[in-house]
Structure 1
Amino acid sequence: MGGRIDCYLDIASFYSYVAFADLVPNLDKLQAHGVHVEFHPVLIAGINNLSGNKPPWVIKAKAKYLSGDSKRAAERVGRSGLAFPRDFMSMALTTSPLRALHYIKANYPRATFLATMEIMFKKFWTPPHVNLTQDDKLTAVLAEAVDGSGKLLFTADDVSRIMAGREGMKDAVKAETQKAVDLGAFGAPWIWATNAKGEGASFFGSDRFNHIYAHLGIPFHDVTILPPSKLEGKSTADKSTSEAATAMQPLELTLIVAATRNMGIGLNGSMPWTGLRREMRYFARVTTRLPPQAAQTPGAVNAVIMGRKTWDSIPPKFRPLKNRLNIIVTRSAPTAAPSPSISITEPIRVSSLEQALKYAQARAVARVFVMGGAQIYEAALRLPETRRVLLTRIEQEFECDTFFNLHLGGGDTGTEGWTRRSRQELEEWTGEQVAEGGEEEAGTKYEFQMWEKTADGEDSRS
């Protein structure tokens, strides 16, 4: 095997973001197969002009189709909550941020370049939508950009150099855009894949990776229809296959969090509010209680996933949280996967949220809860396994320096793609009796809520 993938994309191209989000998590696997991936920032407006193509939104039927398809595509790569900016036309000529990306690519580590591109994509496509064509907005985004650990990517001097260095990248953006057109591009993302034999082939769009990997000779799982859990009239072997497939279905993730109206969750490493003992008991019961289908299974248990700082914030006498499998995500975790036979009285340490999910699935836990902190929540919100948020809405405002990266409104509305469920549905799922209109404790009013991710922004039950 071996080969190369050249991906030409623009931050003003929605499907470029989808392709980027699909490729980046697979970079290590592709590298292991000897395939190098290179990302090339290009100007989609230039591609359209040079190729004679028209933007999709000028065709009414295509624009209508893309309004739904874009949501499906974003959900597939764990990027719910994306939306088209209302002032898209004023934001779409991304020459300035593209030049900045080229400067960063030429002068900083690859990881910094990729992290910056992700941030620019997110700022462009996530409400309230930052207009990166404006120098002050671009400067602010670069100054605030952080990596996965929360460390700033750039110093103030770095930001000044990047902004000043854009002029020298004018020809780079132009040359890369022309190269894409020379390779046949008429839109973005445009992907040129070269296999180990030196054979190149072009692919357009964010949903061609099965064809790309087939061209490269890389083993992969394509779309496969699984049998239903019960097959009447089938053989025992068929039923066993079906049951095994059902047992290995991806786990659902439930995020459980207490947050203010502006989604504040912490201050100086701890909760800004105190004295909510009933709320804490609610958390303990909900994360411990097994769903009805698992209640009679010997050894069944729920799992709680948390970051190392959240673990450290729990008083030693209360940890691990009893009667639950405690999984801690920490960079200091051993590289070897922990044994599924470890007792739940011992905390499990893993190096990533993905590894935590694999361990939970191998352990066949009943329910999986993510309980913080902010970085773990943010990572979980990007995963397709995330299904719901159990929110304790703190009705008073507290000073906070840490926030939950998903806005859930006070009524039934929140970030697009999320819907608040009724009190009855909350009670049915949690097994709790919830007071209508909320509760008050230690002078603080709060309300228990349940929000669920919906398919394409529509009610998943319809």
Structure 2
Amino acid sequence: MLCAHFLFDCLVLPLNILIRIRNTLSSSVFALFRRLSTMTIPKTIPMNMIVAVDASNGIAKDNSLPWHLPQEYKHFQSGTIKTNDPAKKNVVLMGRKCWESIPTKFRPLKNRINVVLSRAMPREISDDFLVLNDFDEAIRILTTTEPFASRVETIWNVGGKEVYALGLAHPLMKDLVITRIQKGFDTDVAFPEVDWENFERNDDFDGKEIEEKGLVYTINSYTRKTFGK
């Protein structure tokens, strides 16, 4: 009977105690919501991709571009440098062969954080230059560790083929900016297959034909439909 009496006493606690418990819980919940409302939620750092392809989807021959289009290269430069926040920088993420294809005098690419993926080069992590051997590790370091997480606005995937393929499959993949040259070249590397059902064209570029050095090309940008969802 003792247990029964104890249980009954618990069930008939004085009203003032019950009110006090309710008020305490309400205050705690309110404080929690107020704290959450003032927290700064970190924004996702997107990964964009930029590439130029010929009529057969080729992108390179003997580790170099088969075409010479200065204006198209300026498009690459400005696109990968420009930020909305002047206090931040963009990343150019590339494989070792892509890095080696850049003339020495232009390495690293200025005004950007250069990240090279390589198993042959020694590991290095500095403010504006990183050498890492794993794609996922590079994305993790850039998006979750300082000083990069607060300095980086956009990660620009600039190739080559394997790095492009990894980027297309990554959840942070957002925009694909593609120059299509209306001529076929002798190439030995092709851009990976894209499931265009997963992308929709945006209005960053008008897609009009551009003529340069006897070649005609268009520039279009596509956003992955599931980005941020």
Distance 2:186 2:100 in 1: 22
What amino acid does structure 1 have at the position aligned with 2:70? R
The 8 Å contact of residues 115 and 130 in structure 2, kept in 1 or not, is answered as yes
Deviation (angstroms), 1:418:
1.9
User: In the alignment, what sits opposite 1:61?
Assistant: none
The correspondence of residues 206-285 of structure 1 with structure 2, limited to 5 A, is 234-235=33-34, 237-241=35-39, 243=40, 246-247=41-42, 249-274=43-68, 276-285=69-78
Distance 2:58 2:116 in 1: 22
Task: Report SS of the residue matched to 1:390.
Answer: strand
Aligned residues: 192
Q: Which one of 333, 349, 354 corresponds to residue 131 of structure 2?
A: 349
Distance 1:273 1:442 in 2: 10
Give the alignment's TM-score, normalised by structure 1: 0.39
Q: Which one of 125, 136, 140 corresponds to residue 358 of structure 1?
A: 140
Distance 1:403 1:279 in 2: 19
Distance 1:384 1:262 in 2: 27
1:307 aligns with 2:105: no
Deviation (angstroms), 1:389:
0.7
What amino acid does structure 2 have at the position aligned with 1:262? S
Residue-by-residue CA offset, 1:360-406 (whole Å, 9 max, x unaligned): 21202001100011111111111111112100111111121111112
What amino acid does structure 1 have at the position aligned with 2:225? T
User: In the alignment, what sits opposite 1:319?
Assistant: 107
The correspondence of residues 100-249 of structure 1 with structure 2, limited to 5 A, is 234-235=33-34, 237-241=35-39, 243=40, 246-247=41-42, 249=43
Residue-by-residue CA offset, 1:319-378 (whole Å, 9 max, x unaligned): 11100000001113556x83xxx332xx21011111111222120200110001111111
User: In the alignment, what sits opposite 2:156?
Assistant: 369
Aligned-residue Cα RMSD (Å) equals 2.3
Distance 1:316 1:285 in 2: 20
Structure 1 residues 234, 426: CA separation in 2 closer, same or farther (over 3 Å shift)? same
Higher strand share: 2
Unaligned runs of 5+ in 1: 1-232, 408-413, 428-433
Task: Report SS of the residue matched to 1:261.
Answer: coil
Distance 2:171 2:58 in 1: 24
Distance 1:333 1:402 in 2: 22
Distance 2:45 2:122 in 1: 23
The 8 Å contact of residues 161 and 191 in structure 2, kept in 1 or not, is answered as yes
Structure 1 residues 288, 395: CA separation in 2 closer, same or farther (over 3 Å shift)? same
Q: Which one of 181, 191, 197 corresponds to residue 416 of structure 1?
A: 197
Distance 2:53 2:100 in 1: 20
Distance 1:250 1:328 in 2: 22
The 8 Å contact of residues 334 and 351 in structure 1, kept in 2 or not, is answered as no
The correspondence of residues 51-130 of structure 1 with structure 2, limited to 5 A, is none
Deviation (angstroms), 1:261:
2.9
The 8 Å contact of residues 253 and 387 in structure 1, kept in 2 or not, is answered as yes
1:331 aligns with 2:119: yes
Q: Which has the higher contact order (CA 8 A, sep 6+)?
A: 2
The 8 Å contact of residues 251 and 357 in structure 1, kept in 2 or not, is answered as no
Distance 1:334 1:318 in 2: 20
User: In the alignment, what sits opposite 1:393?
Assistant: 180
What amino acid does structure 2 have at the position aligned with 1:448? I
Q: Which one of 200, 204, 208 corresponds to residue 426 of structure 1?
A: 204
User: In the alignment, what sits opposite 1:405?
Assistant: 192
Distance 1:289 1:333 in 2: 28
What amino acid does structure 2 have at the position aligned with 1:441? E
Residue-by-residue CA offset, 1:39-82 (whole Å, 9 max, x unaligned): xxxxxxxxxxxxxxxxxxxxxxxxxxxxxxxxxxxxxxxxxxxx
Q: Which of the pair has more CA radius of gyration? A: 2
Give the alignment's TM-score, normalised by structure 2: 0.76
What amino acid does structure 1 have at the position aligned with 2:101? S
User: In the alignment, what sits opposite 1:91?
Assistant: none
Unaligned runs of 5+ in 2: 1-31
